[in-house]
Structure 1
Amino acid sequence: MGKDSGNPIGEFLQARRRLVRPEDQGLAPGVRRRVPGLRREEVALLAGVSTDYYVRLEQGRERNPSAQVVEALARALDLDAEAAAHLHRLAGPAPRRRRAAARRERVGTGLLRMMEAWPDTPAVVLGRCLNVLAHNDLGRALFDGHTHSDDLVRLVFLDPDARAFYPEWDRIAASTVGALRASAGTDPDDPRLVEVVGELSLKSETFRRLWARHDIRGKTGGTKLFRHPLVGDLSLEYETLTVNEAPDQQLVVYRAAPGSPSAQALALLGSLTAAPRPDGGADSRPADTASARRRGTAG
């Protein structure tokens, strides 16, 4: 279960139809259902296509349905906007395959300098598989002290103190897998993705179950709760921004409400973890991950 097969659109359709209750689409629940969700013929009926055509889609014998058919399938499967957009991407032309080796991900010097200018604002740059490519000092301090501080997916599912660090762990786990699915897009053969999904599928039953759902949840913004080992509870708003010069990268910026207990705790965290400079001040240079320290790169 380390990676998906060569039929991404069929896998997605199968996974999503199993999550839809017949009664939610105006169909009788019926009896003797061997699996939950909709039957193939019911999806075909709701989408206005033949059962034979829909079966060919799931089996991978038909891979490029029209935009109209994709829209009909999205309605039949009750997909939200992100999942429907993902289905459209899967139905498009097959992407050019990547080379066998994982690509080197570089963080631009300008972005690193901009993060350095935010000493009171935690900021991290994430790669395609949600690995931390770079961070400023407060961003490092926010996630520091864990076995997998430089990899947010492994932190959530493999770190022994993940459930203590994330008080809303169930929600974080689901959103993390959805974000990894969204980031992976239509290229499930990316070597780094294959490695991450393979390891997590073997080591975490929860990850394996969530990955099989094919939920799509791109990182955008919201509020996230942390229970930091140094300063206690933090409620932080976050915004996720794409990086134009490197579309696979995401800049995530965190903020506490002014005057709140979280703002006070964040300020305390900054003072506790500030690195001393030779001149006696605090060093606010961004620190990259161990594999890319001071170079803004990750292999």
Structure 2
Amino acid sequence: MPVKVNHISVAALVDSGSSINIISKSFYDSLPDTCKTSICSVSEKIVLANNQSVNIVDKCTVKIQVPQGKHWIHTYILTQSSHPLILGTSYLISKKIVLDFSSLSISHKTAKVKLQKHVTVDPNSELLIWGKVANFILQGQTGMCQNSSHLLKSGLLISKAVVTVNSHKAVPIKLLNPTNDQIFISRGDIIASFEPFTEDYMLINADEKGKHFVQNVQLDKRSHTSGEKTESTFLSNIELLKHLSTDEQRQISQFLIQYKDLFVTDENPRLGYTELVKHNICLKPDFKPKHQQPYRLSPDKKNVLHDHLDELLKRGIISRFKKRKIYRH
């Protein structure tokens, strides 16, 4: 059963023969204090499936997140456990959690597929891109991608296809713009819905001898290496910590590239400019200027504000305002 504890995803074991919850000592120690209580000493015994008695000396309360919501659960702490977290029937019954053994899943039937970067689709053209699925979708899972209502409103279509989730939790999506106008979609937009295959589906191999016909095929002869060069130039300005592994450096680099428009670069020289949020302001002829009322900051926020202002002063982005002193008689 997929369980998340403070953004740490684990596969919890559901023990139908147990009424209590168990957490391993190593997993408990790795959790921050915000999602667990202090250890409470107890003197109790539990009986395992092999009729072996085990003394329990510690118990605690842990905050977990499942597809049905977030819950605080009482758990016993074991030094050695086959799983980091074992859930008993008492918790499942109290939270009315239903396990669907026909599909071997308790997650949602469909998952949203979101765009990973800003994309502009030319008129009457097709574009193959990658979309990010939800975290509860496992790597290597096969399913069907189809249109989302959000994408249809923008005028775009996607081809319904069978896809497999790769190691980056991404799936290939083919976009189609049947209109005569360019259509822009932003990073984070929902471009498709992914439905994992269950036993209700039947996969049949296509006839390779059959003839397939397509029309209006236009080959894109433009070079696509400029994007890779831009990413290399962007990453050359960033120094990653040497103690990180190759996989960790790759993940951090991909994350920085995804949000590179938040940094000042040759392509984006304007500080703070981003397309994540856009405002359409309509001013009336008789409008009055808006003023923000002054408000007090806490001491902690004042220190943070002073640090930001000092940094902006050092970089020459802002300058001190010299106001004349006015003496009243």
TM-score (ref. length: structure 2): 0.24
More strand by share: 2
Q: Which has the higher contact order (CA 8 A, sep 6+)?
A: 1
Kindly name which structure, 1 or 2, has the bigger radius of gyration based on alpha carbons.
2
